[in-house]
Amino acid sequence: MERAAHILIVDHGSLAFEGAARLLRAEGLAVTRAGGVQEALQIAHDRPLDLILVGDVSLAAGESEGLRREAALAGATLIAHCDESPSWADVTLSARATDRDLLVLVTTLLRLRRADAAAARAQEYERACLDLQHRERAWRETERALRDRTTELRDLNALTMRIGGALSLDEVVRASLDGIAQSLSPDLIVIYARQQDRLVLLGEHSSEDVAWHRTRSVHHVGQCLCGLAAQQGHAVYSRDLASDPRCTLAECREAGLHAFAALPLTAEGEQWGVLGIASVRARDYRPMESFWEAIAGSVALGIRSALLHGQLEERVRELRASEARLSEAQRIARLGHWEYDRQKDELHWSDELYRIWQRDPARFAPTVERFLESIHPDDRA
């Protein structure tokens, strides 16, 4: 808490100084009165002072110097209201002044004090306003970041659900293109599959703002931005294709594209292709790098699952074809086969074996006992 300003008045009890003291006290200032110089010197020595007003008292040369010295030690301002001594030539009122001058002086002091207090309050208010503005700005930035993050998570979840419902590679590519286009509205989306050192186009989507005329469906690893992303294994961003020496193919620039992001499609430690996203307007994709990489991760998982699903279906088709060929060969040769699961005690017959033994698969369940019963007793040994 700040200390109230302390004023010492040295006078013989004049009415003018009495009124001045009341005015100062009414403003919350501490006022002490001394009836002589010696008393004033003692007070100045014992307590901190801010202002010493000297009234109609006689000051000897030594007393004036002592009062000046005590005022200097206390850091106080010394003002002589009524002074006969030439040693006071450098103080505020150096000549004999009237009571009206004293009231003007006190009023001026109070006005200055009020102005200082008002300025201090104004500064404090300004600091509070600035602090409030900073807090509000920080809160708005945090709110915007949370809102953007929520939107990103929602879009990512929607895309993942859309891709997760697709099985074939064509379905995954279409789901990825549609999901990214609806959620993020880029001007161009391209998806490539990596096949050794080649990038083969799987699908693309362009907005009405793009004059897109693809000249080739196969790129090479290390060529242009998509090829560099595949070669380096990390995202490649460009804010201006026109001035980017890494953009070595003219098709994007000729389509009026300005910004580009090429993201490798990596899942389970294996690279499956590249995702390209572009805009005809100036844009920096890098601040949303984590989001774009999450998008690419979802697309990569979808492509991986689709390719594995395709391989599995192909394997199933091969097995079924092999079983059909085996069944046909057994029919022609009138040969059958059986398998016995010793742990489950289950016996399995081939179709031809049922025909050889003239049994209906729907009505006859083969077991070891039934099989032995069907053999002539002389042949069982």
The 10s digit of each residue's pLDDT in 314-328 is 888 888 888 888 777
User: Quick check: pTM over 0.75?
Assistant: no
**pLDDT tens column, 74-107:** 666 666 654 433 333 333 333 334 445 555 566 6
The better pLDDT of the pair 65, 176 is held by: 176
Vertex 267 angle, CA 283 and 269, to 5°: 115
* Whole-angstrom distance, CA of residue 77 vs CA of residue 95: 17
Residue 236, pLDDT above cutoff 90: yes
Give the model's pLDDT for residue 92: 38
Residue 129 has pLDDT above 60, yes or no: yes
And the tokens for 23? 């005015």
**Is the distance from CB of 177 to CB of 189 less than 8 angstroms?**
yes
Region 338-354 average pLDDT: 82
Location of structure tokens 């009124």: 19
Encoding tokens for residue 112? 């200055």
Burial 191-214 (b: 16+ CB within 10 A, else e): bbbbeeeebebbbbbbeeebebee
Determine the length of the chain. Answer: 381
Q: What is the pLDDT of residues 275-285, one digit of tens each?
A: 999 998 888 88
Helix axes 37-46, 61-74, angle to 10 degrees: 20
For residue 381, the model assigns a pLDDT of: 59
Mean pLDDT, residues 335-355 taken together: 82
Q: What is the pLDDT at residue 154?
A: 82
Per the prediction, the chain carries an average pLDDT of 79
Residue 16 contacts by C-beta under 8 Å, 6 or more apart in sequence? 55, 99, 102, 103
Give the confidence band of 56 by pLDDT, cuts at 50, 70, 90: low
- What one-letter code names the amino acid at 53? L
Contact status, residue 351 vs residue 366, Cβ threshold 8 Å: no
Rounded Cα–Cα distance for residues 339 and 370 (Å): 15
In this structure, the number of other CB atoms found within 10 A of the CB of residue 99 comes to 17
pLDDT, tens digit (0-9, with 9 covering 90-100), for 203-233: 988 888 777 666 567 889 999 999 999 999 9
Whether the pLDDT of residue 3 is over 70: the answer is no
pLDDT, residue 85, reads 38
> Contact 155/126 with Cβ under 8 angstroms?
no
What value does the mean pLDDT take over residues 240-260? 88
Phi, psi of 83 (to 5 degrees): -140, 130
Rounded CA gap, 84 and 262, in Å? 92
CB 17 within 8 A of CB 41: no
pLDDT in tens, 41-55: 888 888 777 777 777
Q: What is the DSSP letter of 38?
A: H
DSSP 90: T
Higher pLDDT, 29 or 264: 264
Q: Give the pLDDT band (50/70/90) at residue 343.
A: confident
- Give yes or no for residue 274 having a pLDDT over 90: yes
133-155 residue pLDDT tens: 888 888 888 888 778 777 777 88
Alpha-carbon distance of 212 to 187, in angstroms, equals 10
> In the structure encoding, which two tokens stand for residue 94, read together?
């150096």
> If you ran DSSP here, which 8-state letter would residue 4 be given?
P
SS3 29: coil
Q: Residue for token digits 């729907």?
A: 362
Domains of the chain, CATH where assigned: 6-118 (3.40.50.2300), 165-310 (3.30.450.40), 334-380 (3.30.450.20)
